[in-house]
Chain A
Amino acid sequence: AQRVTQPEKLLSVFKGAPVELKCNYSYSGSPELFWYVQYSRQRLQLLLRHISRESIKGFTADLNKGETSFHLKKPFAQEEDSAMYYCALRGGGGQNFVFGPGTRLSVLP
């Protein structure tokens, strides 16, 4: 069964500090992994997908199949990064999405 876990419900860091939002998954095949972000009073937006291997707003995420993880990282957090972050998995063959419970990131001044 597909499952995504995000162990931290709330993560607080100071501005300029590194941030890592953890995401672990369970899936027997080759999954597609995504990070979505929802800023206050805004709609859910795609932040990263692992197949793109890109950096968006300074965030990167590497798929580690050995550890079944897809942690989101940023070396220097900004106050505007404060938001709800969801890790999501889609199984091969276009199977449905499974979201993690989300981590609320709070970047303190």
Chain B
Amino acid sequence: KAGVTQTPRYLIKTRGQQVTLSCSPISGHRSVSWYQQTPGQGLQFLFEYFSETQRNKGNFPGRFSGRQFSNSRSEMNVSTLELGDSALYLCASSLGPGGLASNYGYTFGSGTRLTVV
């Protein structure tokens, strides 16, 4: 059974550019949640999608957006990149809603490491 797949694994972008990250959940999982991990800020919740609907959103500026497709795959987009957006972006998938508190448990992907120069 394939795990959670995040692509690309590594990405280098220039300030001002935009970037799209992808997360393919475990087959049958309908919930995908996204997190940003940095040494300075630690782990921060970005958003959670369940059945193509955004259920929750963290305290990030509007430059951060996401969506979920009918096959449960999710994409995260960051526009007008800033140096501070450099981070490891993690997604987690679950059968049911609730993200990391889902009663169904969750599985993380390996993350996409974004470097903004």
Question: Are these two chains actual partners, yes or no?
Answer: yes
Number of A-B contacts (CB under 8 A): 47
Across the interface, which residues of B come within 8 angstroms of A46, CB to CB? Answer: 100, 105-106
Closest chain A CB from B100 CB (angstroms): 6
Query: Which residue from chain B places its CB closest to the CB of A98 in the assembled complex?
Result: B45
Given contacts A34-B100, A94-B98, contact A99 B44 (CB under 8 A): yes
Selecting from B17-25, B51-59, B74-82, the interface stretch reads B51-59
Across the interface, which residues of A come within 8 angstroms of B55, CB to CB? Answer: 94
Task: Specify the main secondary structure of chain A where it touches its partner.
Answer: strand
Tally of A interface residues using CB under 8 Å: 19
Q: Verify B57–A36 contact, CB threshold 8 A.
A: no
Closest chain B CB from A49 CB (angstroms): 7
Across the interface, which residues of B come within 8 angstroms of A39, CB to CB? Answer: none
Closest chain A CB from B68 CB (angstroms): 16
Q: A44 contacts which of B43, B47, B48 (Cβ < 8 Å)? A: B43
Q: B100 contacts which of A94, A97, A100 (Cβ < 8 Å)? A: A97
Report if A15 contacts B (CB, 8 A).
no
Report if B90 contacts A (CB, 8 A).
yes
Report if A43 contacts B (CB, 8 A).
yes
Q: B108 contacts which of A43, A99, A100 (Cβ < 8 Å)? A: A43
Q: Nearest 8 A-B pairs (CB), nearest first?
A: A96-B56, A43-B108, A97-B45, A99-B43, A101-B42, A102-B42, A96-B45, A96-B58
